[in-house]
Structure 1
Amino acid sequence: MKKVFHKISAVCMAFVVMFTAMSFTLDAHYCGDTLVDFSIFQETETCGMEKMQMPESDKDSLSEKSCCSDEQLVVEGQDDLKTSFEQLTLEQQTFVASFVYSYINLFEGLDENIVPFKDYSPPYLIQDVQILHESYLI
């Protein structure tokens, strides 16, 4: 039960870190007071009112304000999750360097497989141990 709780809490903590560090933009296109399109990851589609151009004679007169509007909501994530090595004090840098060095050397393998008893011969068998203790494999 304890292992399951630890796994669930680790997954939840990972999601919390991921969602607090993530930033995204919400785009909305309104035509008047009506929401036409809403988008999170791409550009919003327009209602087509901007594509309608006024005739040449009306360009000289005062142009009316467009009824369409675009709104953009930007949600910024955290940027200070990663601290650089230069911001640490001398004692912290020394600790990190020694920890990394010892951790890397912890997993170095041996060049050859060393068998410490290869020069010694096994002891002589005086009696059969299975018969002595009367334990037979069936």
Structure 2
Amino acid sequence: MNLFVSKIASLLLALLVLFSTLSFTVGTHYCGNIMIDKAILSKAQTCEMHQEMPSEEKSECCGDEVEIIEGQDVLQFSKAEFDLDIPVEFAIFSLIHFSSTDFFAKEIATAEVYDPPHYYQDFQILHQVFLI
């Protein structure tokens, strides 16, 4: 389960980096105050009235807007740098303490105590009583 969660998290982070660096355009066509078409990564289609008008009248009633959404151009690759101010005495003490033989000693596998099966005596042979 932990492996699955880490794969999903890495995939989401990769998609986040991809979409933060992606640039695209959004084109919108208005006829008066009414939005006719909105297109991503392409030019918006014009209305029929705009196509039929002569070129000098097109600018008065209809309008196109192009919005450019820019992503990051420069990614900053940096390592996390931090400085731990540890006293020398503490570092030497921890080195001596954790390098002791008890810390790195292997545990010896212990076997369970073997309990042999109980021996039952044959009473017929013990008392020499036989059925004839």
| TM-score (ref. length: structure 1) | 0.48
Larger radius of gyration: 2
Residue number among 60, 63, 66 corresponding to 1:66 in the alignment: 60
Q: 1:2 to 1:37 in 2, by over 3 A?
A: same
- 2:28 counterpart residue number: 28
- Note the residue ranges of structure 2 that are not aligned, 5 or more in a row: 78-132
- Residue 7 (1) aligns with residue 7 (2): yes
**Residue type of the alignment partner of 1:75:** I
Q: What is the deviation of 1:21?
A: 0.6
Runs of 4+ in structure 1 displaced over 6 angstroms? none
Match of 2:69 in 1: 75
Q: Does 1:41 align with 2:25?
A: no
The total of aligned residue pairs comes to 76
Could you tell me how far apart the structure 2 residues matched to 1:38 and 1:31 are?
12
SS of the equivalent of 1:49 reads helix
In structure 1, what is the Cα distance between the partners aligned to 2:59 and 2:25? 26
Query: 2:54 corresponds to which letter in structure 1?
Result: Q
Shift of 1:81: 2.1
Instruction: Report the AA paired with residue 26 of structure 1.
Output: V
Unaligned runs of 5+ in 1: 84-138
- Paired residue type of 1:67: C
Coordinate RMSD, CA, aligned: 2.5
Q: TM-score, with normalisation over the residues of structure 2?
A: 0.50
The Cα shift of 1:53 comes to 2.2
Question: 1:45/1:3 Cα in 2 relative to 1: closer, same or farther (>3 Å)?
Answer: same
Deviations 1:55-90 (A, max 9, x none): xxxx8xxx796110111111101110277xxxxxxx
